[in-house]
Amino acid sequence: MDPVRDTYGRPLRSLRISVTDRCNLRCEYCMPQEDYVWLERSALLSFEEITELATIFASAGVEKLRLTGGEPLLRRNLDRLVLLLAQVPGIRDLALTTNGLQLAQHAAAFRQAGLQRVTVSLDTLRPERFTALTRRTGHQRVLEGIAAAQAADFASVKINAVIMRGFNHDELADLVEFGRAHRAEVRFIEYMDVGGATRWSSAQVFSAAEMLRILAERYGPITPLAPHDSAAPAERYRLPDGVTFGIISSTTRPFCGSCDRARITADGMFFRCLYAHDGTDLKRLLRAQVAPDEILATLRRLWADRADRGAEDRLALKSRAPLFRVEDLKANPHHEMHTRGG
Ligand code: SAM
Ligand code: SF4
Ligand code: SF4
């Protein structure tokens, strides 16, 4: 399928589908507030509506789908959605990002339904840090979720770890060792000033360059690897002993130039960039019975007009502060990372 290309020639190849804005954790870098304005439940797309949209996106060139949220496993019977999406013509990669809390109960069913890859977020190996970061308990359950994912034999299980200076930057090597022991590639993520990160400060960003320096001091020379996929957000590296890891350096070394990712929220808003201020309400079109071909034409037009390079624009700013104020996020929860899907 020849994908539609945007103003910079970037193809539309991958779609992140947020299935819920709710979450059972309150990570400091994502949901630091005490209370949130939630999407109306009646506004959430049904599994059939999500599948219909995914089919239209696939007709525009999308080959890769990732389920995310909020916490996607809070959506009941998610394996039914996996089964539907696995059958969408043109989709060759179906993945999930989860905080892992409920993964142990569902990993085998997801695999059976056709899920190919799983990424589990695990920022710390220390239970007390987990509780401080997420304001919830459950570290052990996340570890059990990772073990269950390994047992379910996915094509890959990866670990996402957001690294914050002064919180967990001393755990880089421990996380690499955890990945080695559990056959899961770790991807270190720079703390991003996305919507929702209302406590973000540049002082807390631990840069990719610093991560590489610390790991090289510990392990010796690190070799950059050619990417499996030139549009993948993570740069991959190999340690002298063969262990590989990735770094997602969205804050200090953004990779907008190769970005092929679109997003839809659980209520069907389409965003062309993680940092975009405005989206397009695809649910309205679906529920008004607009023909799929017309929705496809709208989608192609929107992508062809895409000029977003959000992370690069942020980097170019002289002084950086959180992207949105709390009042703005409450007025429009679509700006939240947990609504938009990471
Ligand atoms: N709840 C699921 C989870 O945590 O894996 C899926 C949704 S979460 C929004 C997706 C990813 O975004 C997670 O790996 C999370 O660590 C990352 N994330 C959230 N806020 C971030 C921030 N401010 N900077 C960098 N990564 C962030
Ligand atoms: Fe944490 Fe993911 Fe929930 Fe955000 S959506 S608070 S990153 S678990
Ligand atoms: Fe893509 Fe926007 Fe992220 Fe840049 S900031 S990589 S354009 S989603």
Verify whether ligand 1 is closer than 6 Å to residue 338 (CB atom).
yes
- Look at residue 184 in the predicted model and tell me its pLDDT: 98
**How many angstroms does the Cα of residue 304 sit away from the middle of ligand 3?**
16
For 154, 245, 327, the CA distances from 242, given in Å and listed in that order, are 21, 10, 48
- Look at residue 105 in the predicted model and tell me its pLDDT: 98
- Look at residue 255 in the predicted model and tell me its pLDDT: 95
Verify whether ligand 3 is closer than 6 Å to residue 271 (CB atom).
no
- Look at residue 342 in the predicted model and tell me its pLDDT: 80
**How many angstroms does the Cα of residue 1 sit away from the middle of ligand 1?**
30
- Look at residue 287 in the predicted model and tell me its pLDDT: 98
- Look at residue 314 in the predicted model and tell me its pLDDT: 96
**pTM to 2 decimals?**
0.98
Write down all domains in the chain, each with its CATH number in brackets: 14-340 (3.20.20.70)
In this structure, which amino acid lies at residue 221?
P
- Look at residue 227 in the predicted model and tell me its pLDDT: 80
Verify whether ligand 1 is closer than 6 Å to residue 197 (CB atom).
yes
CB atoms inside a 10 Å sphere around CB 5: 16
Name the β-bridge partners of 163. 190
Atom of ligand 2 nearest to the CA of 97: 2
- In degrees and rounded to multiples of 5, residue 118 shows phi and psi of -130, 135
Verify whether ligand 3 is closer than 6 Å to residue 274 (CB atom).
yes
Per-residue pLDDT of the chain (342 residues; tens, 9 = 90+): 789 999 999 999 999 999 999 999 999 999 999 999 999 999 999 999 999 999 999 999 999 999 999 999 999 999 999 999 999 999 999 999 999 999 999 999 999 999 999 999 999 999 999 999 999 999 999 999 999 999 999 999 999 999 999 999 999 999 999 999 999 999 999 999 999 999 999 999 999 999 999 999 999 999 999 987 888 899 999 999 999 999 999 999 999 999 999 999 999 999 999 999 999 999 999 999 999 999 999 999 999 999 999 999 999 998 899 999 999 999 999 999 999 988
**How many angstroms does the Cα of residue 47 sit away from the middle of ligand 1?**
23
**How many angstroms does the Cα of residue 342 sit away from the middle of ligand 1?**
5
Q: Can you give the chain as a three-state secondary structure string?
A: CCCCECCCCCECCEEEEECCCCCCCCCCCCCCCCCCCCCCHHHCCCHHHHHHHHHHHHHCCCCEEEEECCCHHHCCCHHHHHHHHHCCCCCCEEEEEECCCCHHHHHHHHHHHCCCEEEEECCCCCHHHHHHHHCCCCHHHHHHHHHHHHHCCCCEEEEEEEEECCCCHHHHHHHHHHHHHHCCEEEEEECCCCCCCCCCCHHHECCHHHHHHHHHHHHCCCEECCCCCCCCCCEEEECCCCCEEEEECCCCCCCHHHCCEEEECCCCEEECCCCCCCCEEHHHHHHCCCCHHHHHHHHHHHHHCCCCCHHHHHHHCCCCCCCCCHHHHHHCHHHCHHHHCC
